[in-house]
Amino acid sequence: MDRFLNEMEREKPIGFTVEQLRIATDNYSLLGLGGSGAVYKGSFSDGTSIAVKVLRGSSEKRIIEQFMAKVATIGKVHHFNLVHLHGFCFESHFRGLVYEYMANDTLEKYLFCKSMFLSFEKHHEIAVGTPRGIAYLHEECQQRIIYYDIKPGNILLDRNFCPKVADFGLAKLCNRDNAHITLTRGTPGFAAPELWMPNFPVTHKCDVYSFGMLLFEIIGRRRNHNINLPESQVWFPMWVWKRFDAEQVRDLITACGIEGQNCEIAERFVRVALSCVQYRLESRPIMSVVVKMLGGSIEVPKPMNPFPHLVDWSSPTHLVQASQINADKSICFDSSVMLTKSVHVITTPILTKYEIYLKKFQ
């Protein structure tokens, strides 16, 4: 028991001074800049590599309390697919978090840079490992943690290219008996539709949606929105759905450069991605089920159309009555970007809640 308690004690975040971090980072050797602050590379005296994130923000009491609460919570979170927090630094006008160093940078670097190619097998491992960490946050922590900002840039890769979910700056905590919270967060292109709706209850299903969008980018090894491609392929998730609906998934997978025995796995990925980005919250699986579906331990149900709020006027079989909202443009709530003129918004009682969001495109 004493040994167990000692191990638990060692797992607690360590408090560092500014001077200790200055020495560890060789006078703050810059590694990169993030939305919440600068990141510096360093090492402990035993050779352990670290990344120090110095957070921007106010030093008012409320912010300080939030920071310390976050440190206390993150310090209790331990999972192979989550970046480990070694410690923290809190002094006057200085707040920093000390994480394990990820030698191979972000997933984004390998998805979109042709010179940094990874095999499909490695992408498979990343696609299965990432949701394991998120499922832990959702379903196994004492307090449910909603991540809010799942995207390739927030998935870090260690020296063996194992994925670890990083940067909990946007994560919010809620008691397990709370069904939702009501803050708007996320990155355009990955944020679930409900995150853009004022005062709309937001649940952990928003993370499922964002992971689905991430999975699309792993499948296509391209950004979901690319205006330099043919019109039908500009928004990859819609192109995937059209090919799936037309029972032409294998053609799509071949077009993505996936061949041989990997095609069956890629088809499963397509089904899972379409299931994750379902428009209605209740139609999205929970993350632990996503892990099982990706791993092939359970069957992936045939997904419904995840984009019922979008109409493709180029396809006679999909014509429905639609509004003339912004008739000269096309709106995609899911990617929050302009699409092609062949896509228009369907008016439903639910979609009227997007009026404020629509104005930014008009």
62 against 251, higher pLDDT = 251
Is 80 exceeded by the pLDDT of residue 57? Answer: no
Q: Provide mean pLDDT across the span 252-265.
A: 94
Are 52 and 40 contacting, i.e. CB atoms less than 8 angstroms apart?
yes
User: Which CATH code fits 107-295?
Assistant: 1.10.510.10
312 against 348, higher pLDDT = 312
Handedness of CA 348, 350, 351, 355 (dihedral sign): positive
Entry pTM:
0.81
How many CB atoms within 10 Å of residue 98? 26
Is 60 exceeded by the pLDDT of residue 46? Answer: yes
* pLDDT (0 to 100) of residue 178: 53
Indicate left, alpha or beta for 349 from its phi (over 0: left) and psi (-120 to 50: alpha): alpha
Q: Tally the residues of the chain.
A: 362
Sketch the domain layout of the chain as residue ranges: 2-100, 107-295, 310-359
* pLDDT (0 to 100) of residue 38: 87
User: Which CATH code fits 2-100?
Assistant: 3.30.200.20
Is 50 exceeded by the pLDDT of residue 183? Answer: no
**Amino acid, single-letter form, for residue 266:** A
Catalytic pick among 26, 46, 105, 149: 149
Tens of pLDDT, residue by residue over 322-338, are 332 233 333 334 333 33
**C-alpha neighbours within 13 Å on the C-beta side of residue 236:** 24
The answer to whether 328 is a known catalytic residue is no
Mean pLDDT for all residues in the chain: 79
Is 90 exceeded by the pLDDT of residue 268? Answer: yes
Is 50 exceeded by the pLDDT of residue 244? Answer: yes
| H or E element at residue 40 | strand 37-43
| H or E element at residue 343 | strand 343-345
What is d(CA 78, CA 86) in angstroms, rounded to the nearest whole number? 11
Tens of pLDDT, residue by residue over 79-128, are 999 999 999 998 877 888 999 999 999 999 999 887 888 999 999 999 99
Q: Mean pLDDT lowest for which of 111-115, 149-153, 214-218?
A: 111-115
